[in-house]
């Protein structure tokens, strides 16, 4: 497929930090995607929380299944907009690599622990993983990804940290936009988790179809399904409704982004960087999406059963951090070595890399009576 003039191409890429021979039988951004999929951090996403902690059920989404769903949506929309599909897919697959165990609760707890040591941002941690922490290649640390892949992974960054990142962080200081591929992966993340959290919430029994009748965008799509398929119920009704909601959001995103590109006269990648944010939903959908976000926050994320687990998660993260800070000899040998250079950051790296089940097991090892191994 011919790329649009505003898409990222290898010809206009800023390349890799460490120069490598060109790949054979695949492009540079396909190589990035493949390196991400083969990384240790990507594999660990299978056992990291999306909403429900890993041990709570085998059918709930994890960070891994979520990342695959985001990548599918991102790639489909990228093709419709004539963007670089391989770059968009690579960014989507890598966007959650830096997430802690226990989802946002774990991230918030680790950020609090690191408040006097530079803080913790999961987007920055994702970049740290692909730049430094992965140990797979003889010639370099990290994955040595293309500049544009790294730019897309870093979707948020505090001004203080941006100043430490040099060229990659300069856009946050200058308030310039990343590629459209990077912007797209960010909103496709939202499309995936908004809709799939509904599915997991219903499967868990924490929210009900009756409650969702109060969410206009869900109610309209459910009514359309029931009109076309009278008598449909159960999982088929839920899946068909959610499928249509994802399609509605994707189509709105394609149309609005195309219109924004036209409205701002965007023709080149330089135009993208200088323009306002181009990827967005149509105005008609904005109110619906806000209602959906409020519903999920109040009825699912703040459900007392979810809050009980997230409260435990915060306690586990804080306990682990304090124990390792008090005595870094409790860390595994390779992490002890890194702690000699920067103890708080090495501890944060170790904790952030844990899966849910490993964090709970490590907590038992350190604090439970009878656990001495």
- Residue 373 belongs to a domain: no
> Do 215 and 292 form a contact (C-beta atoms < 8 A)?
yes
Residues 323 and 191 in one domain: no
Alpha-carbon span 155 to 98, nearest angstrom:
12
Contacts of 109 (CB under 8 A, 6+ apart): 100, 102, 313, 314, 317, 318
pLDDT in tens, 21-72: 999 999 999 999 999 999 999 999 999 877 765 445 455 788 999 999 999 9
For 117-139, write each residue's pLDDT tens digit: 999 999 999 999 999 999 999 99
Sequence length of the chain is 373
Range of the domain at 331: 307-367
Position 372 confidence tier, pLDDT thresholds 50, 70, 90: low
Q: What is the tens place of the pLDDT at every residue in 83-106? A: 999 999 999 999 999 999 998 899
Q: Confidence class of residue 157 from pLDDT cuts 50, 70 and 90?
A: confident
289 shares a domain with 156 = yes
For residues 349 and 279, membership in a common domain is answered with no
Q: Provide the mean pLDDT of the chain.
A: 94
Angle between the N-to-C axes of helices 63-80 and 180-204, in degrees from 0 to 180, rounded to the nearest 10 = 130
Same domain, 197 and 175: yes
Asked, for residue 4, whether it belongs to a domain, the answer is no
Please report which residue ranges of 264-342 form alpha helices under DSSP H: 269-274, 283-295, 304-326, 333-339
Q: Are residues 72 and 98 in the same domain?
A: yes
Q: What is the pLDDT of residue 55?
A: 47
| Sequence-separated (6 or more) residues with CB below 8 Å from residue 339 | 324, 328, 331, 346, 347
- Tokens 């960014």: give the residue: 91
Q: Given the structure tokens 């060109």, which residue do they identify?
A: 22
Tell me what pLDDT residue 94 has. 98
pLDDT reported for residue 159: 85
- pLDDT at res. 371: 58
Higher model confidence: residue 158 or residue 19? 19
Task: Report the CATH number that the domain containing residue 141 is assigned in CATH.
Answer: 1.10.3210.10
Phi, psi at 180, each rounded to 5°: -65, -35
| 372, part of any domain | no
**Structural domains in the chain (count):** 2
Both 131 and 156 in one domain: the answer is: yes
Distances (CA, A) of 92 to 45, 60, 141, 263: 13, 20, 22, 27
Q: What value does the mean pLDDT take over residues 128-154? A: 97
More confidently predicted of 164 and 188: 188
Pair 71, 106 in one domain: yes
**Residue at a domain's end among 306, 336, 357:** 306
Q: Pick from 345, 257, 284: which is nearest to 74 by CA?
A: 257
Chain segment 228-280, per-residue pLDDT in tens? 999 999 999 999 999 999 999 999 999 999 999 999 999 999 999 999 999 99
Q: What is the DSSP letter of 360?
A: H
- 338 and 254 in a common domain: no
Looking at the structure, do residues 261 and 357 belong to the same domain, yes or no?
no
In a domain, 1, yes or no: no
pLDDT, tens only, 271-318: 999 999 999 999 989 999 999 999 999 999 999 988 998 899 999 999
Task: Identify whether 71 is part of a domain.
Answer: yes
pLDDT in tens, 103-120: 889 999 999 999 999 999
DSSP 8-state symbol, 16 = B
User: Does residue 2 fall inside a structural domain?
Assistant: no
Asked whether the beta carbons of 77 and 190 are under 8 A apart, the reply is no
Nearest CA to 193 among 87, 77, 82, 63? 63
Residue 3 lies in a domain: no
Please write the tens of the pLDDT for every residue from 347-360.
999 999 999 999 99
């Amino acid at each position: 497929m011919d790329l649009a003039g505003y898409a990222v191409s290898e010809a206009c890429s800023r390349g890799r930090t460490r120069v490598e021979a060109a790949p054979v039988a695949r492009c540079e951004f396909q190589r990035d995607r493949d390196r991400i999929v083969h990384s240790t951090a990507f594999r660990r996403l299978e056992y990291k929380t999306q909403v429900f902690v890993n041990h709570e059920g085998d059918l709930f989404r994890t960070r891994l299944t979520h990342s695959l769903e985001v990548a599918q949506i991102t790639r489909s929309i990228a093709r419709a907009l004539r963007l670089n599909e391989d770059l968009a897919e690579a960014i989507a697959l890598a966007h959650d690599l830096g997430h802690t165990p226990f989802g946002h609760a774990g991230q918030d707890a680790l950020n609090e622990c690191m408040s006097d040591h530079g803080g913790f941002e999961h987007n920055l941690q994702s970049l740290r993983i692909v730049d430094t922490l992965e140990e797979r290649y003889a010639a370099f640390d990290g994955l040595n990804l293309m500049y544009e892949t790294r730019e897309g992974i870093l979707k948020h960054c505090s001004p203080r940290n941006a100043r430490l990142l040099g060229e990659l962080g300069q856009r946050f200081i200058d308030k310039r936009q990343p590629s459209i591929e990077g912007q797209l992966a960010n909103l496709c993340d939202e499309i995936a988790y908004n809709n799939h959290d509904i599915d997991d919430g219903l499967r868990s029994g924490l929210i009900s179809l009756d409650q969702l009748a109060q969410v206009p965008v869900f109610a309209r799509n459910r009514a359309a399904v029931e009109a076309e398929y009278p008598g449909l119920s159960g999982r088929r009704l839920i899946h068909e409704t959610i499928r249509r909601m994802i399609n509605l959001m994707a189509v709105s995103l394609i149309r609005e982004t195309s219109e924004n590109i036209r409205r701002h006269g965007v023709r080149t990648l330089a135009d993208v960087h200088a323009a306002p944010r181009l990827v967005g939903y149509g105005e008609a959908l904005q109110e619906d999406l806000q209602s959906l976000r409020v519903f999920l926050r109040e009825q699912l994320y703040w459900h007392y059963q979810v809050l009980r687990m997230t409260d435990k998660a915060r306690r586990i993260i804080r306990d682990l951090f304090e124990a390792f800070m008090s005595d870094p000899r409790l860390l595994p040998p390779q992490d002890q070595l890194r702690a000699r250079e920067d103890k708080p950051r090495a501890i944060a790296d170790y904790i952030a890399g844990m899966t849910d089940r490993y964090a709970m097991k490590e907590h038992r090892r350190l604090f439970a009576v009878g656990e001495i191994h």
